[in-house]
Amino acid sequence: MGTRIELCLVSHTNVGKTTLARTLLGQDVGEVRDAAHVTQEAQSHALLATPEGDALVLWDTPGLGDSARLYRRLSRAANPIGWFLSQVWDRWTDRPFFLSQQAMRATRDHADVVLYPVNATEAPAEAGYLEPELKLLAWMERPVLVLLNQTGLAPAGSGAADDELRRWQQHLRGVEAVGGVLALDAFARCWVHEQAFFDTLGTLVPAPKQAGYERLQRAWQRRNVQCFEASMHAIAAQLVAAAGLEQGIEAAQAQPGLLARLAGTGADTRRERGQQALQRRVEQGRANTTRELLRLHGLLGRAEHPFLKRLDQGDLISRAPLDPVRAGLGGAIASGAATGLAADAATGGLTLGTGALLGALAGAVAFVAGAEGFNRARGVKEETLRLSDAALRGLLQDALLKYLAVAHFGRGRGQFEHDELPAAWVEQARLRVDGAGTELDALFAALRIGDLDADGARAQLQALAATLALELLAWLYPEADIDRVRAAMQTPVPA
């Protein structure tokens, strides 16, 4: 028989209980509107389960309303909670008391721990409902974990986020029943940060249920580590595919006369079309990765992503075959087999006499044969474009930023959309990818020349991407136990 542990979300109305419930559950439960008393009744949802039958259950409850009046009313009773729950409150004429009764009844009947979200954008001293509601919860004799919600204006990795947390912790220090204060936003949070939430929660769970809770927490960690590893696999697969992309450039149309062949008419236009075709293939790969990341994290949204600039010429490497006509004629000029041709070619005239042309051909024939042999040796039959190592490193930086954006997205915001990331995130990702540049370039080179097959390249790139991603998460959350995540990645999954 497993252990059942129940959490109750209880707070002032319109603070964001249901949005936080959606984020924790990874499901679009309840109704979310910017209005008071949207949630009308207490509802339970399965948050975690183990094969041993353990269950972690989350209750979303109606918001507390008119808390100061409610506290004054109850403080006159010998048994405040018993009296309050025994009363009949009219659903319409005394709506705040009626809904508060639903929340407190669910807490009394079910809660092992109370989760109390607060609006972090408010100064705690100015939140008039805060003191009476915490006194009401103290009467329930349940440990309370205060969660700072709506912290999106102070993104992770900023000093402002730490300042907010310290301000609330200081204000609530010594308050009866408050067992901890954490930042856990319904709009911008990450599973690494949720680890701190589950660690703190474990200190508040009743002792008889601790063994079951530890099994539940291990199940939570396995689920998130598997999602992380699958995300890194998707990023590695994208890079391997991108490194192998080659885009042919259409051959020049036959031109009358030798001058047109020498000039390479239309080469820039043909190259531009090839560049555009390669970019479409790269963007398709990026979109596929975004869709996979969204699927792994249980989110909906569009796959477009603005982080990577459009490919420019610096991101492309051209492998061009030597044109036999241009190579041969150039060789004839260089060999001096046709001095008259060299002089005329320098002026662009090419007004050759028969003798000069015949003299030039003697040198040209050998060079034409040489050009064709060289093309065969290189395996190049047409001019092709591929991504440079710098472009591939840019794709990795883009993918890591994309992962951070998806992993921090809370379901309270609805459908996934890309926001502009904090500049510090972009800079930290760039620094870490640049630091791994030598290793990355060696991997790409080994893959292209065949010293490393696609499976081997994916495995090595996945490990490297995971290392860089964990470094970024450790920078964002210095208080998080990233070493525990690394250890979990090395632990075999139970059969």
Q: How far is CA 480 from CA 46, 150, 159, 385, 474, in A?
A: 26, 21, 16, 44, 7
Q: Are residues 149 and 240 in the same domain?
A: no
Count of domains for the chain: 2
169 and 266 inside one domain: no
The one-letter amino acid code at 360 reads A
Helix (H) or strand (E) holding 211: helix 210-243
pLDDT of residue 114: 95
Last residue of a domain, one of 139, 161, 189: 189
Give CA–CA dist 457/412, Å, rounded: 38
Q: Tell whether 182 and 249 lie within a shared domain.
A: no
Enclosing domain of residue 308 = 231-490
Average pLDDT, the chain: 77
Listed range (87-101, 269-283, 334-348) with the worst mean pLDDT? 334-348
Q: Which contiguous run of DSSP H or E holds residue 58? A: strand 55-60
C-alpha to C-alpha distance for 455 and 237, rounded to whole angstroms: 9
266 and 173, same domain (yes or no): no
Q: Which pLDDT band holds residue 445 (cuts at 50, 70, 90)?
A: very high
Residue 218 included in any domain: no
* Alpha-carbon distances of 426 from 114, 207, 232, 387, 429, rounded to whole Å: 37, 44, 18, 22, 5
pLDDT by residue (tens digit) across 259-280?
444 445 556 787 788 888 888 8
- The stretch 374-384 carries a mean pLDDT of 56
Instruction: Evaluate if residue 247 carries a pLDDT over 50.
Output: yes
Positive or negative: CA dihedral 330, 336, 341, 347: positive
Q: Looking at residue 21, which CATH number applies to its domain?
A: 3.40.50.300
Q: Which candidate, 483, 479, 485, places its Cα nearest to that of 162?
A: 479
Domain identity same for 243 and 158 = no
User: How many angstroms separate the CA atoms of 434 and 414, rounded?
Assistant: 34
Residue 304 and residue 354 share a domain:
yes
Do residues 137 and 18 share a domain? yes
Q: Token match 């060299």: residue? A: 342
**pLDDT per position as a tens digit, 108-147:** 889 999 999 998 888 888 888 899 899 989 988 999 999 9
User: Do 175 and 241 sit in the same domain of this protein?
Assistant: no
Of 11, 44, 40, 46, residue with least CA distance to 26 = 46
Q: What is the pTM of this model?
A: 0.75
Domain-embedded: residue 199: no
pLDDT per position as a tens digit, 32-63: 444 444 455 788 899 999 999 999 999 988 87
Nearest CA to 398 among 301, 317, 303, 494? 303
Same domain (yes/no): 121, 261: no
Mean pLDDT (whole number) for 457-485: 93
Q: Is 288 within a domain?
A: yes
Do residues 169 and 261 both lie within one domain?
Answer: no
Contact 384, 247 (CB under 8 A): yes
Q: Which residues contact 331 (CB under 8 A, 6 or more apart)?
A: 363, 364, 366, 367, 370
